[in-house]
Structure 1
C-alpha cells in the first residue's frame, strides 16, 4: 500500500515512479503474489500495476488460487467476495458477501476491457483494453442511459481481434495497437 496509493494519486514524480513500481513488483514477487495491500488499497493495486506496464503482474494476482487471494475464495466455493481472505465460518467471519475486496471488479471493466466514461451519460467514452499474456479473451458489457456498450477481444492465430459496440448517440475513443480512433455508434472491428 505504501507504493500503491501515492502512485495512484500521482504524488510520486514521474522521474521516480518507475522505481516505486519496481519496488512494488519486487515486493509482490517476494511475497509470492499475495495481496498485502489491505482492503483500502487493493482496489488501486490493479490499476497502478496496469497503468505502469505490469499487466501480467496484475493478472498473476487476480488468478492466484492460494491463500490469501480472490482465487482462494473461489476454490472454497465462494460465489461472492468475503470480508476477509480466511476460510472461516460464523462467528469468525462477519460477512461472506462484502463489497470491499469486490472493488477489483472495476479493473475488469476499466482495464481488461478498457471501458471508461469521458462524458456524463456515457455520451463519449474510451475503449483501451489491456492484454495479459496468459489470457486469450475478455468480454464486458456496460449498461448506459444510451444503451449497452459491449467490448470483446480475443487472441487468435497470432492476431488480436477487438470488437466494440457503441450505442446510438455516443462516440467511442478506441485506443488499440498504438492507434487512437474516434468511432460513432454501431459495431466496430479492429485487428492487429
Structure 2
C-alpha cells in the first residue's frame, strides 16, 4: 500500500476514532506523531540525511533511532507522563503501520516506558554540569534569560545525541568521522 505522509497519519487517526478513542485522545495522538516526525526530520538532518516526511524517514527507523528519541525527551526534561504517552502513541502507530504492511517490523518492540525512579549517578553529574553552565552564563557572562535558555537547550540536545554512542567501548561510531 503506497500512502502519502498525510494519508498515513489521517488513516491512523481515523482508525483510532473507529476504535472508540475520544476526540481529545486522538488530538493527543496527532500531536505525538507530529512531534516525533519533526524530531526525526531534524535528527536525520544532523546526520546529513535529508528527509521531509514519514515515508522518507522509514528506511532509518530502528530500535536505536527510538532510543535516541526517548533519550532526547528525557534529556530535555519532558514530563514523564508526556514521554510515556508519546511512546504509547508510537507503539500504536507502529502496530498500525505493521498491520498495513507499510513497515516490515514493529519498530517500537522492546522500547520501554520511562520509570519514575531516581536518576542515575551519570544523570545527576550531567545535570550538575548543565546547572553550573547555566549559572556561569547568567552571572559571569551576563547572558539574557533567552540566550541562557537557548544555550542550555543546545547543550541538552548535544548530550542526548552523544548518549547514543558508547565511545569508551567503541560500540557506536560517531557520524562523519567525528
Q: TM-score range by the shorter chain?
A: under 0.3
TM-score w.r.t. the length of structure 1 is 0.26
TM-score w.r.t. the length of structure 2 is 0.27
The structure whose RCO (Cα within 8 Å, separation 6+) is larger is 2
Q: Which has the higher strand share?
A: 1
